[in-house]
């Protein structure tokens, strides 16, 4: 078997005969969807004609065996496999003109009237909004053709768009000017507008707590200031500054509450609820700068330059009145937090630490610090009056400043955490995850994120792997199976198959969108805190 040699160019190889491959010189034709065919047999024939013939074997037995193998292989039928390949379609601007466009966009972008759209083809599509099931859309190509019919040319349409853009800018400038004039008119003649919904916020809930605190702390500041002028006590000065800081900060909280009630706009699509946290954060900084800073400064000055204190009788009376008023405000804040925590299913401590209601938390902590600081100031003033040593009064001022600094640090930390967008509780996140995973249409979920946006508003996001079989079965359950079977039997060509698949494929995608809407609606209904749901399809 090693006696056969084969030459290729100038090289010579000695190979065993039973290892040589048998090559069939058959013609292979490849068909494409456009009807063209390629002949691959001629190339093989030319290549084989250029090869040198094999040398004859020395033994006749091997030659006879080789001839028998060739004859048996040539007798086998030649199988040609034809593969139907769908021609790849190029999607250009002409194809995207068949996209859908809403009536509002058609009127704004193509400068049309509502009457111009009455003659166009109307298509009912699944609505992305919760309040409506379907809404009407138009083909973009029809809208473009109608706009050219109305305006005559693309240049005329471009000029009209430019004119409307300039008119819109001018309208906004006039609107700002008119709002300014209206504000000046109200300042001069008085505001006779009926009470708005924003004003009613200050008669219940956190707004009521803030307004009560503003009134009480304002009176306390006035009387404490008179007591400090009369006695010259450093502790009384710290108390007056403390009440002033509380009044200013709670006025800032009232501003934050009123701003948080504004409706969302295109620039702020998620609303202004974080204004309460921003106001509380600034309030915490104000307490630290004004309250703690001035108290420490006055206490240090008292230690460095002590001076005798006059009669403290009036100071004690004002401190007693301040203790009663601050205690009343503290009880109002405690009752409001207990009611809100009970409604959310949280404990009092959890509600305060998580800063669920920043405005009420600020009032609570400020009034608690006020009650403690009154006790500290009264104790130190009593020691000063008993011993005659003014250092005790200065130490009391330092103690009040330290207490205010601790409260401000806590407020800054909790409100910063809320503004950064922290996650919700693990138990609540687990309930949302289990609700999705228990649905038959969901195969798996990944990258789950649930962010607390503040004021009991949660944004939920997840990547969902949908079960295509369940989605398709959900679509088939709404179809007439017999009619669908007849459509399948009528498919004879590739074009008819493509049209059939495109029709039902688009309907299946719509069914998938409907399933996404259903899941989002279930999440919002079972968890009222979830306001925004973003489900991404894998």
CATH number at residue 165: 3.90.530
Q: What is the CATH number of the domain that holds 220?
A: 1.20.1510.10
Residue 112 belongs to some domain of the structure? yes
Q: How far apart are CA 114 and CA 309, in angstroms?
A: 82
Q: For residue 15, is it within any domain?
A: no
For 316-348, give the DSSP string.
Answer: HHHHHHHHHHHHHHHHHHHHHHHHHHHHHT--H
- Let me know if residue 46 belongs to a domain: no
What's the rounded Cα separation, in Å, for the pair 347 and 54?
A: 96
In a domain, 76, yes or no: no
Query: Exposure of 155 by Cβ count < 10 A (0-12 exposed, 13-18 middle, 19+ buried)?
Result: exposed
Would the pLDDT of 288 be above 80? no
Does residue 335 sit in the same domain as residue 259? yes
CA distance 31 to 38: 7
Q: State the pLDDT at residue 132.
A: 66
Residues 247 and 378 reside in one and the same domain:
yes
Burial code of 451-484, b = ≥16 C-beta within 10 A, e = fewer? bbbbbebbbbebebebbeeebeebbeeeeeeeee
d(CA 233, CA 298): 10
Residue 510 belongs to domain with CATH number: 3.30.70.1350
13 phi and psi angles, rounded to 5 deg: -120, 145
Q: Are residues 416 and 440 in the same domain?
A: no
Last residue of a domain, one of 379, 394, 420: 420
231 & 380 share domain? yes
pLDDT (0 to 100) of residue 200: 65
Last residue of a domain, one of 125, 158, 189: 189
> Which of 181-195, 271-285, 346-360 has the weakest average pLDDT?
181-195
For the chain, state the CA radius of gyration.
Answer: 42
What is the H or E stretch that residue 240 is in? Answer: helix 234-260
Mind listing the pLDDT tens digit for each residue in 78-119? Answer: 665 555 555 556 656 665 556 888 888 888 888 888 888 888
Q: In which element (H, E) is residue 404 found?
A: helix 391-420
According to DSSP, residue 264 is labeled P
Beta pairing, strands 29-31 & 37-39: antiparallel
Longest dimension (CA), the chain: 141
Average pLDDT, the chain: 76
Looking at the DSSP assignment, which residues form a beta bridge with residue 126? 134
Instruction: Give me the pLDDT at residue 71, please.
Output: 53
Q: Is residue 19 part of a domain?
A: no
Given CA atoms 377, 381, 382, 387 in this order, what sign does their dihedral have?
positive
pLDDT for the residue numbered 101: 84
Asked whether residue 324 is domain-assigned, the answer is: yes
Does the pLDDT of residue 466 top 90, yes or no?
yes
Convert the pLDDT of each residue in 132-186 to its tens digit: 667 788 888 888 888 888 888 889 888 888 898 888 888 877 876 777 677 666 6
Local confidence band at 3 (pLDDT 50, 70, 90 cut-offs): very low
**pLDDT for residue 42 is more than 70:** no
Tokens of 50: 């250029």
- Residue-level pLDDT at 20: 42
Q: Which of 174-178, 272-276, 447-451, 480-484 has the lowest mean pLDDT?
A: 174-178
Are residues 283 and 298 part of one domain? Answer: yes
pLDDT in tens, 211-241: 888 888 888 888 888 888 877 777 677 778 7
Angle between helices 293-304 and 234-260 (to 10 degrees): 170
Q: Six-digit token pair at 226? A: 């008179």
Same-domain pairing of 464 and 357? no
**Alpha-carbon separation of residue 110 from 74, 142, 151, 153, 296 (angstroms):** 71, 11, 9, 12, 67
Same domain, 213 and 151: no
CA distance linking residue 328 with residue 339, whole number of Å: 17
Q: Let me know: does 247 contact 362? Beta carbons within 8 Å.
A: no
Q: What is the pLDDT of residues 395-426, one digit of tens each?
A: 888 888 888 888 888 888 888 888 887 888 88
Same structural domain, 437 and 409? no
| DSSP secondary structure of 96-140 | HTTSEEEHHHHHHHTT--GGGGTTS--EEEE-SSSS-SEEEEEEH
DSSP code of residue 79: P
Distance of CA 176 to the CA centre of its chain: 31
Q: Which of 154, 189, 224 is the last residue of a domain?
A: 189
**Cα–Cα distance, 310 to 390 (Å, whole number):** 11
pLDDT of residue 32: 45
- Please indicate whether residue 66 or residue 343 has the higher confidence score (pLDDT): 343
464 located within any domain: yes
Same domain, 297 and 167: no
Claim to verify: residue 355 and residue 458 sit in the same structural domain: no
Counted domains in the chain = 3
Q: Are strands 123-126 and 134-139 parallel, antiparallel or unpaired?
A: antiparallel
Angle at 90 between CA 84 and CA 95, to 5 degrees: 120
Domain shared by 258 and 279, yes or no = yes
Q: Has residue 36 been placed in a domain?
A: no
Model pTM above 0.85? no
Determine the structural domain holding residue 471 and report its residue range: 426-537
Same domain, 215 and 103: no
């Amino acid at each position: 078997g090693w006696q056969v040699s084969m030459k290729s160019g100038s090289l010579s190889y000695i190979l065993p005969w039973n290892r040589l491959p048998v090559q069939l010189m058959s013609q292979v034709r490849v068909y494409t969807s456009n009807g063209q065919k390629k002949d691959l047999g001629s190339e093989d024939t030319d290549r084989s004609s250029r090869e040198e013939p094999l040398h004859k074997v020395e033994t006749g037995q091997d030659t006879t065996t080789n001839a028998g193998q060739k004859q048996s292989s040539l007798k086998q039928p030649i199988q040609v496999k034809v593969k139907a390949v769908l021609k790849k379609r190029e999607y250009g601007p002409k194809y995207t003109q068949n996209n859908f466009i809403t009536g509002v966009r058609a009127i704004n972008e193509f400068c049309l009237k509502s009457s111009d759209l009455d003659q166009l083809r109307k298509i009912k599509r699944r609505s992305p909004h919760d309040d409506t099931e379907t809404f009407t859309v138009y083909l973009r190509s029809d809208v473009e053709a109608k706009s050219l019919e109305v305006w005559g040319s693309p240049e005329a349409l471009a000029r009209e768009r430019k004119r409307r853009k300039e008119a819109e800018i001018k309208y906004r400038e006039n609107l700002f000017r008119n709002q300014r004039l209206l504000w000046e008119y109200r300042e001069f003649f008085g505001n006779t507008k009926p009470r708005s919904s924003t004003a009613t916020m200050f008669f219940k809930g956190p707004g009521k707590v803030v307004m009560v605190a503003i009134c009480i702390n304002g009176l306390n500041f006035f009387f404490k200031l008179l007591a400090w002028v009369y006695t010259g006590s450093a502790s009384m000065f710290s108390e007056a500054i403390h009440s002033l800081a509380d009044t200013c900060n709670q006025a800032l909280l009232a501003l934050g509450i009123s701003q948080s009630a504004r409706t969302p706009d295109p620039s702020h699509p998620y609303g202004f609820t974080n204004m309460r946290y921003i106001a509380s954060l600034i309030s915490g900084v104000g307490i630290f700068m004004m309250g703690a800073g001035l108290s420490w400064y006055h206490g240090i000055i008292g230690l460095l330059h002590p001076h005798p204190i006059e009669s403290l009788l009036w100071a004690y009376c004002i401190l007693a009145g301040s203790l009663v008023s601050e205690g009343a405000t503290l009880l109002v804040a405690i009752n409001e937090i207990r009611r809100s925590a009970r409604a959310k299913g949280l404990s009092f401590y959890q509600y305060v630490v998580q800063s669920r209601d920043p405005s009420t938390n600020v009032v609570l902590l400020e009034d608690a610090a006020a009650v403690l600081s009154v006790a500290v100031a009264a104790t130190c003033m009593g020691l000063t009056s008993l011993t005659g040593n003014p250092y005790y009064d200065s130490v009391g001022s330092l103690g009040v400043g330290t207490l205010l600094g601790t409260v401000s640090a806590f407020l800054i930390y909790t409100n910063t955490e809320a503004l950064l967008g922290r996650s919700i509780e693990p138990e609540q996140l687990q309930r949302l995850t289990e609700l999705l995973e228990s649905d038959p249409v969901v195969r798996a979920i990944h990258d789950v994120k649930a962010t607390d946006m503040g004021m009991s508003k949660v944004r939920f996001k997840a990547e969902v792997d949908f079960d295509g079989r369940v989605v398709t079965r959900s679509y088939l359950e709404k179809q007439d199976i017999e009619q669908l079977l007849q459509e399948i039997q009528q498919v004879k060509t590739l074009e008819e198959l493509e049209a059939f698949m495109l029709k039902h494929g688009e309907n299946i995608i719509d069914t998938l969108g409907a399933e996404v809407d259903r899941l989002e609606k279930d999440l919002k209904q079972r968890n009222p805190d979830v306001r925004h749901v973003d489900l991404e399809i894998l």
